Structure 1
Amino acid sequence: MKHTEDFKREAVRIALGSGLSRTRVASDLGIGKSTLAKWIVDYRPDEAGSGQQADLTRENERLHLENRILREEREILKKATEFCAGQKA
């Protein structure tokens, strides 16, 4: 699968700023850890920004990722509930 430049840059931004392990970020994005590592070398931003702004950016990215994961988990639970309700009938 060919990923866009924007996807790669976003993956690097999340990997560098989310506080999550690179293994976790790669897994959540559906890419290999070595692929993410290569993208980090290729797309690492030149400047991280000011300290407070960088902290806010990292927290925002972490919350966005956590929100996405929670939405996916909620969908899985909905499907499991529907399946179990169908088995009882």
Structure 2
Amino acid sequence: MPATRPPYPPEFRAEAVRLVRESGKKLQQIAANLGVSEARLRKWVRQADIDAGQRPGWTTAEREELNRLRRENRILREERAILKKPPPSSLGRPAGAGSGVLVRRAGEGASPCGDLVPCAGRLDKRLRRNGDGAGYRSGPAKTQN
């Protein structure tokens, strides 16, 4: 991909348009002398005619305002989309009341834990079953002498 060059200054464009209109030379010759493409020079002349009111179309000022408003509109849409999203909560749980955390009184309904989360009553059984139980004993703590 060819490297892009910075835009030509407005003074250079105005002088190129003046040369096309006043010199009597062909547009191709003027473009070659200035080192710009014929299509670019033709576009500058057409835009100068529009800005002068000699031709219908969007003036440079109108086009700049349209681009500014489109850019502003895009930013506002992005901000609105961000504000529509729910705020992040801790631990990846939904925020607010009724956040999905189940609270159960003793003897009330089935265990919400299932096999995924060890409940208090089954914790010591799981630890004994998964290993030799070293470091964990149910009942009163024993002291070493």
Relative contact order: is structure 1 or structure 2 higher (C-alpha 8 Å, sep ≥ 6)? 1
TM-score, normalised to structure 2, is 0.30
TM-score by length of 1: 0.48
State which structure, 1 or 2, has the greater radius of gyration over its C-alpha atoms. Answer: 2
